[in-house]
């Protein structure tokens, strides 16, 4: 991808995507320490007063909804470590009857929250589980138990959340055997998505495995039949193994980057609005919110950032170029 930054709206591509998806990071804290997400010694947690309150995030979301956002995903860190997440989901679901609210979690606490989140208006959930092997899971997360995550996954299914998706970040030499997840898709009505490792920090070539390679390995379980996507807002392509209750999907930000079709906006837990994970030009809305900006004023700011995103198209820093904001993935919300 080119490094060039073209911000002239007159040169904006005619087939620009509708940007209607907001990812809200409600906390930078997490109960796991995944090797690809943060350094071994962790990340300094932000002071409480630097984190946007639920009321401030609700205000921002209302303004974003007025600017055309129709889909919201609550993320972290790990969102379930922040007290009051069920009520926050309830507030978001009441902003607009057509606003769809989902959540991404590592699943460790999900068995305690799934039913209440469903009652609060959560429509769907993504559970990050990078391996089904207990020892490898412990290695990747440094502190976690795959049994806890799997209890959360089953609780989401039992609560009636639909669809339930599993996010698997594939790391070469660590968890690059997709067959256990392929077999899981045969048994459970879940949608497993294999995600190419994005070299957000550390050695760009250390863990990368292309999804073409993963797809070839899955063929050992049978011919993959291409399927329509289950309800979702991202760039995954989906397939079904013969007789499977669920599907397998592939998100390929490195081998088949999708900047030009990206439909998402992000706000970090400390109030930085970003149009891209690799956005060096994020806009801090925290000051605007805390100085009493109206939803109309915030809407204008958001629309300005969306115009910038559309104008840039796929003219983003190349993945792995390290031309990114200084925050770790755990603080931006993935």
Which pLDDT tens digit goes with each residue over 12-27? 444 567 889 999 999 9
Could you read off the pLDDT of 71-110 as tens digits, one per residue? 999 999 999 999 999 999 999 999 999 999 999 999 999 9
| 3 state SS of 267 | strand
Write the CB contacts of 303 (distance below 8 Å, at least 6 apart in sequence). 67
What pLDDT is recorded for position 317? 54
Q: Which phi and psi (to 5°) does residue 111 adopt? A: -65, -25
- With b for 16 or more beta-carbon neighbours within 10 A and e for fewer, the 165-177 pattern comes to bbbbbbbeebbbe
Distance, CA of 25 to CA of 22 (rounded, Å): 10
pLDDT in tens, 278-288: 776 678 999 99
DSSP 132-161: S-HHHHHHHHSS--HHHHHHHHHHHHHHT-
| Token digits of residue 213 | 């390679």
- Concatenate the DSSP letters of all residues of 45-101 into one string: PPPGGGSPPHHHHHHHHHHHHHTT--EEEEESS-GGGSTTHHHHHHHHHTT-TT-EE
The answer to whether the CB of 130 falls within 8 A of the CB of 152 is: no
Q: How far apart are CA 170 and CA 215, in angstroms?
A: 12
Report the alpha-carbon distance of residue 323 to residue 130 in Å, rounded.
26
How many residues are recorded in the chain? 334
Domains of the chain, each with CATH number or no CATH? 9-332 (3.20.20.70)
Q: pTM of the entire structure?
A: 0.88
What pLDDT does 276 receive?
83
pLDDT score recorded for residue 329? 57
Mean pLDDT, rounded, for 254-270:
85
Under DSSP, the state recorded for 248 is E
């Amino acid at each position: 991808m080119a490094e060039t930054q073209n911000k002239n709206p007159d040169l904006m591509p005619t087939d620009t995507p509708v940007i209607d998806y907001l990812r809200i990071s409600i906390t930078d804290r997490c109960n796991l320490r995944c090797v690809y997400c943060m350094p071994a010694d962790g990340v300094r947690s932000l002071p409480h007063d630097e984190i946007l309150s639920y009321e401030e995030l609700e205000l921002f979301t209302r303004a974003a909804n007025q600017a055309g956002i129709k889909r919201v995903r609550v993320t972290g860190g790990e969102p379930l470590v922040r007290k009051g997440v069920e009520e926050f989901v309830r507030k978001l679901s009441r902003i607009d009857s057509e606003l769809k609210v989902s959540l991404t979690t590592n699943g460790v606490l999900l068995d305690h929250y799934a039913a209440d989140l469903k009652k609060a208006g959560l429509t769907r959930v993504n559970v990050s589980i990078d391996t089904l092997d207990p020892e490898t899971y412990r290695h990747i997360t440094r502190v976690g138990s795959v049994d806890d995550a799997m209890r959360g996954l089953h609780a989401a299914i039992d609560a009636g959340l639909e669809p339930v998706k599993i996010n698997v970040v594939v790391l070469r030499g660590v968890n690059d055997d997709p067959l256990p997840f392929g077999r899981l898709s045969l048994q459970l009505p879940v949608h497993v998505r294999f995600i190419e490792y994005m070299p957000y920090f550390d050695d760009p070539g250390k863990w990368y495995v292309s999804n073409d390679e993963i797809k070839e390995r899955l063929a050992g379980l049978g011919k993959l039949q291409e399927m329509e996507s289950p309800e979702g807002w991202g760039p995954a392509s989906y397939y079904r193994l013969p007789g499977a209750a669920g599907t397998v999907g592939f998100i390929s930000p490195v081998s088949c980057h999708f900047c030009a079709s990206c439909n998402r906006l992000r706000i970090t837990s400390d109030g930085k609005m970003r149009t891209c994970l690799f956005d060096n030009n994020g806009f801090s809305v925290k000051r605007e919110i805390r100085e009493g900006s109206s939803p109309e004023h915030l809407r204008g700011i958001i629309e300005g950032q969306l115009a910038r995103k559309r104008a840039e198209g796929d003219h983003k820093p190349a993945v792995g170029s390290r031309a990114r904001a200084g925050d770790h993935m755990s603080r931006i919300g993935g």
